[in-house]
Structure 1
Amino acid sequence: MRIFKKNSYFKPEIPKNKSTFIKLLASYLVIIFVVLCISSLVFFSNYKKLVLNEGYNVSKRSLDQAKYYTELNLNWAKSLVYSLYLDDKIYTLMYSSSPITDNSIIARLREINASSPNIDSICVYNKATNILYSSLGTGFNPEYEKSMRDLLINTKDTFSGNPIPLKIDIISKEGNIVSKNIFSIVLSNLPASGDKLPNGAIILNVNADVFSNYFKQTNKNDNILFSIDNTGRIVFSADSRKFLSDISKESYINDILASPLSSGSFISTINDVQYFVAYSNYKNQNLNFINLVPYELLIGQSKKARNSSIIIVLLLLFIGVIISYIISHKFYDPIEKLIKSINEKLPPENLKGYKNRNELEYLSEALDQVLSQPTSLENLPLEEMVFIRNKLLKDILVNNQSMDINKYPIKLQQLNLNIDLENILVVIFRIDSVNTLYKKYPIHNDRNLIRLGIKNIIVDNLSQQYKVDTLIIANSIVAVLSIGREIDENTKNELLNFIRTIQDKIYDKSNISLSASMGPFVSRIDELSTSYKKANEYINYTFKYGHRATLYESKILQNISKEYKYDEILENALFDAIKLGNKEKIRYCLDKIFENILQYSYNDIILSITTLAINSRNLINTLFDVNNEKCKIYVTDFLEHLKDYELAEDVKLWFLNLYESYIDTLNEKKLSKNNVLVEKVKEYIVDNYSDFCLSVEQISESLDMSPNYLRTIFKNVTGESISKYINDYRFNKAKSLLTDTDHPIADISTMVGYANSNYFYTAFRKNYGVSPAQFRKNNRTK
């Protein structure tokens, strides 16, 4: 529809000043230049941070693996000390009232010492005889013995929970001074008092050089991994010569020891070289693990990226100049055409004095003339009227409306919006479990009808008491209510009852659950966006209160703890349960964590869950690495869609599935490895059952592992001991030979691995209730 008729005889001069085109071109060039510069700086800065973060993650994995390796070996040593204390022969050494002459008892110490390369020596002290027995033999080095006696005097606890590092200088048989690095664990019946020794004690000395070998293998690409105690002495490192060296005066060591954090990283200069320092403490053993990476090694990658980005920026800038020129022309052409069109349609007196200005001033005055003409909405089609109506209401809700408040009554009346200018608020109704609902109604029109039906029920109920207008936004129905007076407690309760009635009606009629939130009361329509914003915030608390919740300010605030603090103690308890594979404890700890975080605001709840997810990913991936499993978990997709989870229970279930999946995966892989190991044991028995010396120790030596560990695995998988399996296999072979051959029984005894035929005869009778001869006779008769 034309507003102005063409004036064929009026042809005013079009502005010839093309300053707009120049400004457009200059603006694009400036914008492109600024964007490219900022993008490059941001990219380089973020890339540098990414490199450092990756360096910290790599260092953290090394530190966690070193902590795990240390903890595993020290726990093994403690367990061994307890098992020594329970050994009858060791007990005899500790408390015999006379010197031990039985070589088998002394040999027991040497046997245990030889069972593991980690053991340097085992000492047993007997106060009654004042003898210190050692697995090194009688008359062992005097300096060594003196160190052990001093250790007993200085150990004031019955059990030294933390291994005691010692460096002992002894004189070898050749007369040379040799240093031995050891960790000692002491177990005694009574603590030493003064300079008196305990009644009896066991000292397990672990070879510290074994740990040095591990740290030597771990140090790669100029990385330096080591550990210090709380006084700054080196305990574990790749160089055994640095054992117990005091480096507490180094500034970076002081920073680590003084830090209240359990782990962290920073950059420090050490011996004129910059290093990236990552650390993690092991409070149970008073140890601090440290990893040093040359800073230049990390940052070298980012320097290459910076040089590359400069070249790319220059290239993009050149391309940007060309594109800016083309785009400026494209934008300017419509302006030029519009000026020509306005010149043809507006009366000349309306634009007098504007034709010599720049294009935009000229165009602005012309458009003002057009827009100042009265318009009529009545002639618009219904579809366009609804669109404009909804657009205006949405702009008011999000404060995207710059209209003078005095013009609101006219616009509201023209668009038939049922809203007052004063005493109003917003209520949001959101469909719960909308994805489940939409699966039942995949057709778009059906979904629209459902939302429209809900909207009509809301309007029918609320309009009984209030003026109301509504707007459908995504899966929510936004109701703007005109209360007509200032809201008090009675009015609020009355409105809440209306809201709950609507929720119940819709659920009873269509089995559709709605959650609702009520924004605060505002006195003017231009403040309505405040009520809408708050209502949007409150609806998120469905996550805490569940579906069909009715949410408002006082209800939410009274249950929020003001001070946010992430509970690392609860997290550590959860992670300990994960390491142990204790699913029941995991559920308990997870319930406690969610019970704690649901006391915070919604944003802090999301922050806590994000922190837990990232820390869980790091833990599980570290545990996979420690167990040499090529598995990884990722939480990126979960975090990206975290706000799509409607209920805290759904998020808790996600975490529970994550933890249980990890435990099941690890158990399946361990079981598979254990089954392979058991099959190897069985194959060895099949090939060697006739060997008189066949034993668990012989089998474990062939498989290069500890006998006790092999016994445990075999028993867990098969339900019986290796010794029983060997005996059963030998007797089954004997039965076959008795029934299928004429070999003498004494020969059969030898053939199946029994050197003593009398023992074979007795054992066979005990197992089967008959003698070998009677078994042969009975089975051949059949």
Structure 2
Amino acid sequence: MKFLLKSPRKTLFAKMLLTLTITVTVLIIGLSSLLYRNFFTTSLDNINRMNTSILSQTSYSMKYLDTMVSKFTNTVIMSPNTSILLYNQENDMYTLGEALRNLDNLTLPHDYVYSVYTINLALNRITSTETGNFYTKENFYDQDIVNLLQTMNKDTFTEMPIPRKISKTQAFTASEATNVYTYIMPDNPDTNPSSRTATVINVKASVLRDLIASLNAKMADSSNEIIVIDSKGTIVNHTSENLFLHSVGQEPYIQTLLAANQNSGSFKTKLGGQDYQVTYVSSDKPKWKFISLTSYTSFIGKVDTIKTSTIWICLIILGLGLFFSFFISRSLYIPVGKLVKTVKEHVATAHPKDHQANDIYFLQDVFKEMITKNNEWETKQREQIAPLKNKWLQDLLLGIRYVDQKEMKARQKELDIHLNMNGQLRLLLLRLDNYRFFLNQYDEKDRWLLKFGITNIVNEIVSEIYKLETIYLENDQLMLLLEINPSEKAETTEATLKKLIEITQNAVKQYLKLSFSATLSIPVDSYLQLNESYSDTSALSSYRIIAGHGSILTPAFRSTINETLISFPESKAKILLDSLKLGHLDKAKEAYDEFISLLTGTTYENLLSSIMQLSFMLRTTFNTILENHEFQKSDQFKLASRNIEQFETIEEIHEAFSSIFTEIIRVMEQNKNSKHNSIITRITQIVEEQYRDKNLNLRLIADEFQMSNVYLGKLFKEATGKSVSEYITDVRMNHIKHLLDNSNLSTKQILEQCGLEETNYFYTIFKKRHGVSLSQYKLEKNKP
């Protein structure tokens, strides 16, 4: 009999355990497969999105460079120096040389310009700022441009820029070619090719290449490759200079790109037996395609790692699930078994006379034990309800979960939600201020405790008037779900909540030393509208960037926003860049303030895109400074390298730009001083080497530097306190004194060796310098 009672219970227990095991195993396998597939898709989407963003930045930078070159070209064409070099038929080398030096000075502030040519085939005269010399078309070192000018027709003049290589033949030494983009501005395309006149601007291709290398460095894996091709499939830029002008038009993926009608897109291809993801963006002017090649191995490895990790985690979960399911099943089975055993023992040992009294006490003990176990079970359930309720409300808010009315009623009771989810509701979104400081200052446990503390303060104050539920969201967000009396006016609700929020903000600042901003949604009539309301409220909270920390944004704030798209203030941006180039920090900051003021009242997206565009212009114009290793170690670089979206207020953005402006001008001033010091040192060397030359003067030295003698003289005097002629005289007089003291040469011989003539001027200078005449100096020297 005992065996018969015990065996069915064991069989039932085994069936429960087996069913639970199979269910958990199937769920884990299904969820693992879904997780792997979703992670692969997400990784690929992220790669495409990041590549498209970087390619768009590169495309925009090239358009901006093209615009700058166009403006510079107009400046060159309108310059009188260009007219002299192109059309002056008299070969007055003094006039032409001065014009060429002035044209070279015009190009100096524009770092992206490699050289400027003026070509007049009818006069057979070509000039180049690269060498500072004059050429005929037969001996010009860049024969490619001569051939281009003679062979191009009217249509091809519009296809600018032209990617080319220029052989460096300066100082009669050949070296590697320079990659450039050439803009040819003919005086009249219809002119006879053999007598054409044109201005040619050669722009450094390295400007775009450096930018591509900089942006490519942001990629997580070095296997990513960025290529720029023209409409014929020729590489016009690449991180490797050797591939410049290399034709890839026969590659299948390039043919697919050239045939594509869309401006951007992505697809998979095979290169060298490996899978690559191709992402591309097209530009209208110039008609180039910007391509990113990302090897699948760069992210498949991570996916496979996740796959392996997932398998191990699933196996661990399966093992733990079996372990706990065994003990849970036992815990469910043991009380029943004990109860049956107790009843059996009681029946076996009870005396018939005491049977009735024993039954009463026995049942009392059984029910006490059952109540104790039930209380323990309910306590465990309550501990699990809070995170389950938060996750369920979070999914409802984010639109991850759809809930019908029947499930809503069941969930409200199960999760202890006291709000009327079919009544009027409002969202109150709280966002922690200075969140990056919050992350750096506290560890994960402290951050959770502080968020919990904020929630308790908010609940204590706001719940005095409104029923609410708190929802913990990711990052810097906390959400309050409020139940509103439908008869209460919206203005009254907003005024009441504003007072409650201000009280809460003061309490949080006092007790937790933290600050938060709040955003209130419009009323909704049902829980079904919560996801849409959350999206709208989250978008409105972005305007904290304008309102500042500790702000309270209500739906009424939208009326202050100008929804009309404000165009990018390009004129103010140009003034800003020009002021920085000239080293005028105050004017640069003033231009920046005017730039921001023109965007006042615009939408968050409009403001952000304009600031990002200004940031791109800064990086393009001052790429050499901003990518400098020393600058990257500075605090300014840390500010500049942060994404604009990570700034919480406009004041933080102002501070970042101000620091960058200051650093740019500091580096420029440092480079300028270094360049000036180099020039001064070289002038002193020239004087020391050539002081014997009677014709040595400021003009000859200026010609050697190919600079204006007025500018060079001013630069030298500011640095040394003497004019160049005074310095030449000092050097000569020092050498004269040395020869007088250490040789038996005559005065005439000494003066000839020192580049002076025996004139009254010399004797006057000598007496003024030494306090005695030359004859007296010799007498004193010869005294025993």
Question: Is the CA contact 1:51–1:298 (under 8 Å) kept in the aligned structure 2?
Answer: no
Which structure 2 segments of 5+ residues have no match? 1-7, 20-24, 104-115, 147-163, 168-176, 200-227, 238-243, 256-267, 277-295, 331-374
Kindly provide the amino acid, as one letter, of the partner of residue 386 in structure 2: V
CA 1:40–1:222: 2 relative to 1, 3 Å:
farther
Partner of 1:566: 568
CA positional deviation for 1:760: 0.9
Q: Match of 1:154?
A: none
Counterparts of 2:30 and 2:408, CA distance in 1: 40
SS of alignment partner, residue 484 of structure 1 = coil
Matched, 1:430 2:414: no
- Which of 233, 237, 241 is matched with 2:189 structurally? 233
Matched with 2:477 is 476
Task: Return the alpha-carbon distance in structure 1 between the equivalents of residues 616 and 559 of structure 2.
Answer: 28
Once residues 529 and 61 of structure 1 are traced to their aligned partners in structure 2, the CA distance between those partners, rounded to angstroms, is: 44
Select 1:615's aligned residue among 614, 617, 624.
617
C-alpha distance in structure 2 between counterparts of 1:492 and 1:756, whole Å = 98
1:547 match: 549
2:419 alignment partner in structure 1: 419
Closer/same/farther in 2, CA of residues 556 and 296 from structure 1, 3 Å limit: same
How far the C-alpha of 1:591 sits from its partner, in A, is: 1.8
| CA distance in 2: counterparts of 1:29 and 1:768, whole angstroms | 97
Which one-letter code corresponds to 2:609 in the other structure? L
Instruction: Please give the secondary structure, in 2, of the residue aligned with 1:516.
Output: strand
Q: Secondary structure at the match of 2:424?
A: strand
The amino acid of 1:483's aligned partner reads I
Render the CA deviation track for 1:323-355: whole Å, top value 9, x for unaligned. 99x99xx99xx9xx9xxx9xx99xxxxxxxxxx
Q: Which residue is 1:351 aligned to? A: none
| Alignment-derived partner of residue 397 in structure 1 | 397
Which is worse superposed, 211-220 or 642-651?
211-220
Deviations 1:637-689 (A, max 9, x none): 96773322112222233333334433433433343233233222212222332
Map 1:653-664 to 2 at 5 A. Answer: 653-664=655-666
> Could you list the per-position Cα deviations for residues 22-74 of structure 1 after superposition, in whole angstroms to 9, with x for gaps in the alignment?
9x999999999999999999999999999999799789879967986995797
Q: Is the 8 A contact 1:181 1:243 kept in 2?
A: no
Partner SS, residue 581 of structure 2: helix
> What is residue 762 of structure 2 aligned with on the other side?
760
Q: Which residue of 2 aligns with 1:457?
A: 457
Q: Is the 8 A contact 1:468 1:482 kept in 2?
A: yes
**Are positions 1:378 and 2:378 aligned together?**
yes
Q: How does 1:61-140 map to 2 (within 5 A)?
A: 77=81, 111-113=94-96
Give me the whole-angstrom Cα distance separating, in 2, the residues matched to 1:308 and 1:607.
Answer: 36
The aligned amino acid for 2:694 is F
CA–CA distance in structure 2, aligned partners of residues 751 and 306 of structure 1? 77
1-structure distance, mates of 2:144, 2:78: 14
| C-alpha distance in structure 1 between counterparts of 2:535 and 2:9, whole Å | 47
Q: Return the alpha-carbon distance in structure 2 between the equivalents of residues 511 and 609 of structure 1.
A: 32
8 Å CA contact 1:472–1:478 kept in 2: the answer is: yes
1:255-291 CA distance string (max 9 Å, x none): xxxxxxxxxx99668xxxx88999xxxxxxxxxxxxx
Q: Give the alignment of 1:273-292 within 5 angstroms.
A: none
Range 600-609 or range 760-769, more displaced = 760-769
User: 1:169-568 counterparts in 2 under 5 A?
Assistant: 218-219=165-166, 226-229=182-185, 233=189, 241=194, 243-244=196-197, 296-297=247-248, 300=251, 302-303=253-254, 306-308=269-271, 312=275, 378-409=378-409, 411-421=411-421, 422-437=423-438, 439=440, 441-473=441-473, 474-486=475-487, 487-568=489-570
* Maintained 8 Å contact 1:165/1:181: yes
Separation in structure 1 between the aligned mates of residue 401 and residue 716 of structure 2, nearest angstrom: 77
Contact 1:426 1:478 in 2 (8 A): yes
RMSD over aligned Cα atoms = 6.3
For 1:741-780, list aligned pairs within 5 A: 749-766=751-768, 771-772=773-774
Distance 1:78 1:732 in 2: 45
Partner of 2:155: none
What corresponds to 1:93 in structure 2? none
- Aligned AA (1:77): N
Question: 2:549 & 2:45 partners in 1: Cα distance?
Answer: 46
Counterpart secondary structure, 1:504: helix
Match of 1:90? none
| Partner SS for 1:523 | coil
Bigger relative CO (Cα 8 Å, ≥ 6 apart):
1
Deviates more, 1:702-711 or 1:581-590: 702-711
Q: Tell me by how many angstroms 1:541 deviates.
A: 1.5
Residue 700 of structure 1: how far off its partner (Å): 4.6
Q: Identity across aligned pairs (percent)?
A: 19
1:678 aligns with 2:680: yes
Counterpart CA distance in 1 for 2:543 and 2:95 is 62
8 A contact 2:519–2:540 mirrored in 1? yes
Distance 1:717 1:436 in 2: 47
Does the CA contact (< 8 Å) of 1:678 and 1:714 recur in 2? Answer: yes
Pair 182,472 (structure 1): closer, same or farther in 2 beyond 3 Å = closer
SS across alignment from 1:607: helix
Residues 575, 591 of structure 2: 8 Å contact kept? yes
Change in Cα spacing, 1:308 to 1:668, as seen in structure 2 (3 Å) is same
Alpha-carbon distance between aligned partners in 2 of 1:528 and 1:505, rounded to the nearest angstrom: 29
For normalisation by structure 2, the TM-score amounts to 0.59
Whether 1:725 and 2:711 are equivalent positions in the alignment is no
- Residues 394-452 of structure 1, C-alpha deviation per residue, up to 9 Å, x if partnerless? 2332233333334545533443434333122111222211333455x534444333323
Distance 2:514 2:38 in 1: 52
Contact 2:118 2:198 in 1 (8 A): no
**How far has the Cα of 1:716 moved from its partner?**
4.8
Contact kept, 8 Å, 1:539 with 1:551, in 2: the verdict is yes
**Total equivalences in the alignment:** 606
The residue aligned with 2:285 is none
Q: CA deviation at 1:759?
A: 1.0
> Structure 1: 5+ residue runs without aligned partners?
16-20, 85-105, 121-162, 170-177, 184-204, 247-264, 279-292, 346-374
Q: Deviations over 1:522-545 (max 9, x none)?
A: 122332333333332222222112
2:427 is paired with a residue whose SS is strand
Contact 1:424 1:480 in 2 (8 A): yes
